[in-house]
Amino acid sequence: MILSGREIERAVGTDIIIEPFERSKVNPNSYNLTLHNELLVYENEILDMKKPNPTKKLVIPEEGLLLEPNKLYLGRTKEFTTTSKYVPMLEGRSSTGRLGLCIHVTAGFGDIGFAGYWTLEIYCIHPLIIYPDIEVCQIYYHTIKGDYDLYSSGKYQNNTGIQSSMMYKDFENMESSELLNPAGKYLLKFAKNHNLSLSEAYKHPIIKARFDFFNRTGL
C-alpha cells in the first residue's frame, strides 16, 4: 500500500524524516524533492566496475547549466531522508520527463533504514538547461509485510553528498571471502612467492585453474 500525502505529512518527524520539509511540496501520494546545485561527471570515457572511477564536480549556476545528451550526470537531492518503517521509492516528475530528463536511470527502489541524500542518476535525451533548487523528483512510501532488517550497507549509508558508484567494493568483498577457502590460500602463497599483487596473481592461468577446481569440487 502506498501512503497518501496526508499520511506522509502525519508521519514526518516520527516514522519519516525529510529535512528540510515544506508542506507545499506534499502531493496526493508523494513528496517533491529538489535538486542540489552540484553535479558529478566521470572523467574517463571508459568506466571499470572493479575500480574507483575518478569524477569531477560541476556547479549549477543560478542562470542554469546546459546538459549534454548521452552523458551521465550524478546529482543529489537537497533533502535528507530516512525511515525505519516504510519502503522509500523515488520517481522523476512528469514535468521533467516531458522535457526528456531522466532522474533515475535504474535505482529508484530504496531500502528501509537508508539514511542520507538521494544520489540522482541524471540523463537527458535532448540538450536541456537545468537550474538549482528545482523540484526534480518525488519520493513515495510503501508499507511492508513480514519481518525485515534495516539497511546497513557501509557503502552509501549516512552519506553527506553525491556518491559515485562503489561497485568495486563488491568485488573486494567477494575476493576477501574467496581468500578463506583453499584456493584463496594458494593465491596468497602464489602472490607472495612471485612478488605479485593479489589482483595480478588472480589473473594467472594457474590460479584461475585452481579456483575452477575449487568451484567444482570444494577442495
Residue at 182: amino acid letter: P
H helices present in 51-202, as ranges: 94-97, 168-178, 182-193, 198-202
In the chain the first and final C-alpha atoms are separated, in Å, by 48
Please pick, among 7, 121, 135, 175, the residue that the annotation labels catalytic: 121
Count the neighbouring beta carbons within 10 Å of the beta carbon of residue 191. 18
Is-catalytic flag, 121?
Answer: yes
Could you tell me the three cell numbers for 102? Answer: 531522466
Q: What residues have CB less than 8 Å from 92, skipping those under 6 apart?
A: 101, 102, 103, 104, 136, 137, 138
For the beta sheet containing 31-34, the strands, ordered from the edge strand earlier in sequence to the opposite edge, are 31-34, 135-142, 87-92
Residue 123: CA atoms inside 13 Å, Cβ hemisphere, count? 9
Active site residues: 121
